[in-house]
């Protein structure tokens, strides 16, 4: 063999061995993405949906501890903590932030314009200023919209259909103002006028005593039924709220089926399980290189109307046959 050819062969072999070694090292040191999860509710109340998101991510091929980890942050019903929690996730240099609800989304967006943000269930992301439009979100935010403002008026209509003689409805809402709540009220107030209903707006502290005071206030105002704004904070205290509505024999409609599963009377809303599963799909795409600005916001596709006849019997309420016929699920 010519000396030059021999030297080239040795160099080529060495280069191939180095490339193979580099490939093996790359495989062994696969990048571990850090995902932040920001929720205004409590750890106990919000964890089931967070776990559902995590499980869906694993179904898409991600392995926790191997190529992704989760950083959970719950504000424990204190929205004023969201800014600090969001800033903390940015300091940790997470690769992506998943947000539950409008307040969490706004806190995350204020904390970073670079880290991708995926919404699991934002009522009106355009109205709230989270995205420029559904089709072209722009910026670093995308994900799912739960249509909270549109669906809250539908729940009021269902209450009226269920109780034809209904005159007053107690509306429980968290303390303080928020963009998400204002958007819902902007839809609900004129709907109440159109249905000839008086809306008793009741500020509700989200602890045991606060919830009971709110229900007692609805009773004093002679509200014939109650409902809540669509807020993750109410979802976190659903068992206590359902128990109190039953105790005071107040018909109630909620925004998620989980309230009815806890013993509540009725619910109508977007399928939260479906929204959280699809949020995992967005995360999968972004971690694989897609840009949030290029992923249109998807509106809720599945809706459920659930009625609990056992709960109706406990408070002495008869659900009209035409309302029952519209239910997707009836618990007996």
Share of the chain above pLDDT 90, in %: 72
Q: What is the pLDDT of residues 135-164, one digit of tens each?
A: 999 999 999 998 877 899 999 999 999 999
**pLDDT computed for residue 25 by the predictor:** 42
pLDDT at residue 188 is higher than 70: yes
- In percent, the amount of the chain with pLDDT more than 70 equals 91
For the full predicted model, state whether its pTM sits above 0.75: yes
**Model confidence at 181, in pLDDT bands (50, 70, 90)?**
confident
Q: Which region among 71-75, 146-150, 166-170 has the lowest average model confidence (pLDDT)?
A: 146-150
Q: Rounded distance, CA 109 to CA 27, Å?
A: 34
Top CATH class of 148-270+304-331 equals alpha beta
- Find where tokens 């050819």 sit: 5
For residue 7, pLDDT over 90 is answered with no
Tokens (6 digits) for 303: 């809706």
Per-residue confidence at 77, pLDDT binned at 50, 70, 90?
Answer: confident
pLDDT (mean) for 71-81 = 91
Residue-level pLDDT at 70: 96
What pLDDT does residue 164 have? Answer: 95
| pLDDT tens sequence across 83-137 | 999 999 999 999 999 999 889 999 999 999 999 999 998 878 998 899 999 999 9
pLDDT of residue 91: 97
Over 80: is that where the pLDDT of 192 sits? yes
Asked if 94 contacts 35 with a C-beta cutoff of 8 angstroms, the reply is yes
What residues pair up with 305 in beta bridges, in sequence order?
268
| Mean pLDDT, rounded, of the chain | 90
* 3-state SS, residue 143: strand
Mean pLDDT for the stretch of residues 74-87: 92
Instruction: Tell me the β-bridge partners of 253.
Output: 227, 266
What is residue 6's predicted lDDT score, i.e. its pLDDT? 58
- Compute CA 264 distance to the chain's CA centroid, rounded to the nearest angstrom: 20
> Rounded distance, CA 52 to CA 30, Å?
25
245-to-212, 311, 317, 320 alpha-carbon distances in Å? 9, 10, 13, 20
DSSP per-residue string spanning 164-197 = TT--EEEEEE-SS--HHHHHHHHHHHHHHHHTT-
Do 97 and 82 form a contact (C-beta atoms < 8 A)? no
Task: Indicate whether 233 pLDDT > 60.
Answer: yes
Sign of the CA dihedral 255, 205, 189, 109? Answer: negative
Residue-level pLDDT at 79: 86
Q: What is the per-residue pLDDT across 255-272, written as a single tens digit (0 to 9) for each?
A: 999 999 999 999 999 988
pLDDT band at 44 (very low <50, low <70, confident <90, very high): confident
102 vs 231: CA distance, rounded Å: 9
Domain boundaries, the chain: 33-147+271-301, 148-270+304-331
Q: Phi and psi of 180, rounded to 5°? A: -60, -45
Q: What is the mean pLDDT of residues 224-249?
A: 92
CATH of domain 33-147+271-301: 3.40.50.2300
Q: Please say if the pLDDT value at position 12 is more than 60.
A: no
Strand partners for 122: 145
pLDDT greater than 90 at residue 286: yes
Question: Does 148-270+304-331 match 33-147+271-301 at the fold level?
Answer: yes
């Amino acid at each position: 063999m010519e000396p030059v050819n021999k030297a080239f062969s040795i160099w080529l072999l060495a280069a191939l061995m180095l490339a193979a070694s580099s490939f093996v090292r790359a495989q062994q040191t696969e990048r571990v993405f850090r995902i932040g999860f920001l929720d205004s509710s409590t750890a106990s109340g919000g964890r089931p949906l967070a776990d559902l998101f995590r499980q869906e991510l694993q179904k898409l091929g991600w392995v926790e501890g191997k190529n992704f980890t989760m950083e959970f942050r719950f504000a424990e019903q204190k929205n004023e903590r969201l800014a600090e929690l969001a800033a903390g996730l940015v300091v940790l240099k997470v690769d992506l932030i998943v947000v539950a609800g409008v307040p969490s989304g706004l806190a995350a967006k204020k904390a970073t314009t670079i880290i991708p943000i995926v919404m699991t269930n934002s009522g009106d992301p355009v109205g709230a200023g989270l995205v420029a439009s559904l089709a072209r979100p722009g910026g670093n935010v995308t994900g799912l919209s739960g249509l909270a403002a549109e669906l809250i008026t539908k729940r009021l209509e269902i209450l009226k259909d269920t109780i034809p003689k209904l005159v007053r409805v107690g509306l429980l809402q968290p303390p303080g103002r928020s963009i998400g709540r204002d958007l819902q009220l902007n839809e609900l107030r004129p709907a109440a006028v159109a249905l000839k209903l008086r809306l008793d707006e009741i500020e509700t502290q989200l602890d045991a005593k606060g919830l009971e005071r709110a229900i007692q206030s609805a009773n004093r105002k002679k509200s014939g039924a109650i409902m809540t704004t669509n807020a993750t904070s109410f979802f976190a205290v659903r068992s206590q709220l359902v128990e109190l509505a039953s105790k005071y024999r107040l018909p109630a409609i909620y925004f998620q089926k989980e309230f009815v599963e806890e013993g509540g009377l009725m619910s109508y809303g977007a399928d939260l399980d479906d929204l959280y599963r699809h949020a995992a799909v967005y995360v999968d795409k972004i971690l694989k290189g897609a840009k949030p600005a290029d992923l249109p916001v998807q509106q809720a596709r599945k809706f459920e109307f659930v009625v609990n006849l056992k709960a109706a019997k406990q408070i002495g309420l008869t659900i009209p046959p035409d309302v029952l016929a519209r239910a997707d699920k009836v618990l007996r």
